[in-house]
Amino acid sequence: MTAESTTVLVTGASGFLGRAVVRELLAQGPAVRTLQRRPSGVEGATDVLGSVTDPGAVARALEGADAVVHLAAKVSLAGEAADFERVNVGGTRTLLDAAVAAGVRRVVHVSSPSVAHHGSSITGDDAAPADPARARGDYARTKAAAELLALGRDGDDLHVVAVRPHLVWGPGDTQLVARIVARARAGRLPLLGHGAALIDSTYVDNAASAIAAALAAVDDVHGRAYVVTNGEPRPVAELLAGICRASGVEPPRWRVPAALARGAGAAVEALWRVRPGDDEPPMTRFLAEQLSTAHWFDQRRTREYLRWQPAVSIDEGLRRLAAHSASA
C-alpha cells in the first residue's frame, strides 16, 4: 500500500499536536481525514465534525479509511470523573469497535507517560506498563485504561501501537506554554524545591514526526508502547526559564518546598471538587509531582524500533518559540 493510496483518519485534529500530526502526514502523501468537534483548520485535510463518543460520527469518519491516529481526549487537571471516562475510555472503545467493523488494520493510539507515573522520579526508564490503579488523577487514570484497551485489541486483524509523547510544546501551544506564561506573568509560577529535577520534553514537530513514524512502522512494532521525547533532559527551572524568556516574560524566581506544594495540591483538589473554579486549579498533586520529581526516559528503543530521530533540538525550539512570540 503506497502513501498516495492511503487514507488516514486523525481524531482530535483541532488540538495543538493533532494539527501538527495532520500537517506531517499530508506532507508525506496520504489523504488525511479528521474527526473532532470543530474544524481542524489544516488546509488539505477533510474534516468530519463530531465526537469520538458518537458511533454514527465515528462510522462516517472511518468510511474508506486504511489507518487511524487517535489523539482525541479530554485533557485537563480538573473536571468530572465521568467526563474523562466517557471521552478517554468510552471514545477509544467506540473508535476501536468501528475501526474493526470498517476493516481498518492499523491504529496509532496516542497516549501519555502519565499512564505509568506513580508520583516518584523516573530516571532513564523505558515505557513501563500503563497502570490505571496507580495513575495520578482522572486524566492519567483514564488514559491508562484507554491504552490498555487499545493494546488489548492488537492482533492479526488489527495492529495497534501506543505512542506516549512527553510534555509537548512549541509555538501556538495553548496548553503547556500558554499556562506557563500566564502563571509566570501573574506571579503564580513557583519553582518547587531547588528546580533541579531533570525532565524530558518534546518539541511539537518531533512529536508529530514520531507519531507518523509509528504509523509507518506499525506492522513491525505493534502491541507495545513507546515513550517519545527530545532526549534532552533539562533541569525544570532551566526549561521553565527558557520557555518564559522566549515568550517575553520573566522566569519564576520564588520557591516553594515540594512537600508543601503537594499538600497544597491535595487541598486545592478537594476544594475544586466541591466548588470548581472557572479555570484550571492553580496546583494539584499531579502538577506538584511533575514540577518536583525527575522524569526522563531512555529513548534508544523508541528510536530504533520507530526508525525515528528528533529533528528540532530544545534550543532551536526555543528560538522558534521566541520568533513566534515576537511576531504575535
CB of 42 closer than 8 Å to CB of 18: no
The C-alpha cell at 219 is: 506492522
Query: In the annotation, is 226 catalytic?
Result: no
Neighbours of 120 (CB within 10 A): 10
Q: Residue 29, by phi and psi: left (phi above 0), alpha (psi -120 to 50) or beta?
A: left
Q: Strands of 126-172 (E only): list them.
A: 159-165, 168-169
Closest Cα to residue 129, out of 146, 150, 144, 110? Answer: 144
Instruction: Exactly one of 139, 203, 226, 305 is catalytic; name it.
Output: 139
Residue with cell 523508541: 302
Cβ partners under 8 Å of residue 177, min gap 6: 169, 170, 243, 247, 321
Residues with catalytic function: 139
